[in-house]
Amino acid sequence: MSYKTILFDVADHVATITINRPEAMNSFNRLMMDEFAQVWHEISWNDDVHVAILRAAPGRAFCTGADVKGGEDGPVVDLDNIWHCEDPGDKLGPKSQHCWKPVIAAVHGMAAGGAFYWLNEADIIIASEEATFFDPHVTYGMTSALEPIGMTYKMPLADVLRMVLLGNDERMSAEYAKSIGLVSEVLPLEDLWSRAHELAVQIAAKPPAAIQGSIKAIWTSLDMPRSVALANALKFPQIGNPVGVPQVDRAALMADKAKKFSLR
């Protein structure tokens, strides 16, 4: 597939998606929404892809949300008929598109408003030192609802509410985002993409059935009460790790006693 608003590449079992509208602060339009729906489908069905990296073209922003100027493909949300309104996140987010392959988000610059459609569904988020996070909706007189509800699964409620209510008057630093668990690692901008690739390669080297089963089991549990989630979870190790087909030489791994790991 060829894309106009994103760059897409697959190598070493890693799919790299680059949001590519730097002239518009990497904001998304309707075309980008359609292209993300397609790219998540492509990643889902390509067995050569074990993990995905989501990043953005260099510039001041990772993404500033929806392109309010619209464009030749029309506004992001059709307000003329409320029954035809759709949540942009339904197309942008990997989990919303039933893509159960791990996603690493590498965030630089501003991540605002609709950028959280991606961050809320990423499995690992790393950020550059100058990255900031904020939600400008209420500043411009718009109700903030969809993105912050998704944020409550990644951030403490008090921090979500503060971000929503202060709008453009305050931005969350990368270090603070790390302190509350939204971001797992902060590093210099020049190291951001290489570190994302390093993490992706380490994940991609693991058995893909086990990785995808783990992702789907954990994410689908969020919509269930705890006891139901635990009962439902049993089928995932049964399906994802069938006896005799572990996709890895367990005996060799267990026999290798050398401790090879990094300490975070």
Could you tell me the CATH number of the domain that includes residue 141? 3.90.226.10
Per-residue pLDDT of the chain (264 residues; tens, 9 = 90+): 789 999 999 999 999 999 999 999 999 999 999 999 999 999 999 999 999 999 999 999 999 999 987 666 666 766 667 777 788 889 999 999 999 999 999 999 999 999 999 999 999 999 999 999 999 999 999 999 999 999 999 999 999 999 999 999 999 999 999 999 999 999 999 999 999 999 999 999 998 988 999 999 999 999 999 999 999 998 888 776 655 566 777 677 677 777 677 777
Domain assignment present for residue 46? The answer is yes
Domain assignment present for residue 20? The answer is yes
Domain boundary among 165, 184, 204: 204
Domain holding 237, by residue range, is 208-255
Please check whether residues 35 and 71 belong to one and the same domain. Answer: yes
Pairwise CA distance, residues 264 & 260, whole Å: 13
Please check whether residues 68 and 148 belong to one and the same domain. Answer: yes
Domain assignment present for residue 92? The answer is yes
Please check whether residues 84 and 114 belong to one and the same domain. Answer: yes
Please check whether residues 195 and 216 belong to one and the same domain. Answer: no
The pair of structure tokens assigned to 133 is 């996070």
Alpha-carbon distances, residue 100 vs 46, 68, 76, 197, 229 (angstroms): 12, 30, 26, 19, 17
Domain assignment present for residue 1? The answer is no
Domain assignment present for residue 237? The answer is yes
Residues paired with residue 125 on neighbouring β-strands, in sequence order: 105
Domain boundary among 162, 179, 204: 204
Please check whether residues 231 and 113 belong to one and the same domain. Answer: no
Pairwise CA distance, residues 200 & 205, whole Å: 9
Please check whether residues 229 and 102 belong to one and the same domain. Answer: no
Q: How many domains does the chain have?
A: 2
Domain assignment present for residue 263? The answer is no
Please check whether residues 68 and 199 belong to one and the same domain. Answer: yes
Domain boundary among 166, 187, 204: 204
Please check whether residues 56 and 181 belong to one and the same domain. Answer: yes
Domain assignment present for residue 260? The answer is no
The pair of structure tokens assigned to 62 is 């990772």
Pairwise CA distance, residues 106 & 121, whole Å: 13
Do β-strands 132-134 and 172-173 pair in parallel, antiparallel, or remain unpaired? antiparallel
Please check whether residues 229 and 195 belong to one and the same domain. Answer: no
Please check whether residues 176 and 218 belong to one and the same domain. Answer: no
Pairwise CA distance, residues 194 & 111, whole Å: 20
Residues in the chain: 264
Please check whether residues 116 and 65 belong to one and the same domain. Answer: yes
- For 12-71, where are the alpha helices, taking DSSP H only? 30-45
Please check whether residues 175 and 251 belong to one and the same domain. Answer: no
Domain assignment present for residue 264? The answer is no
User: Cβ(196)–Cβ(203) under 8 Å?
Assistant: no
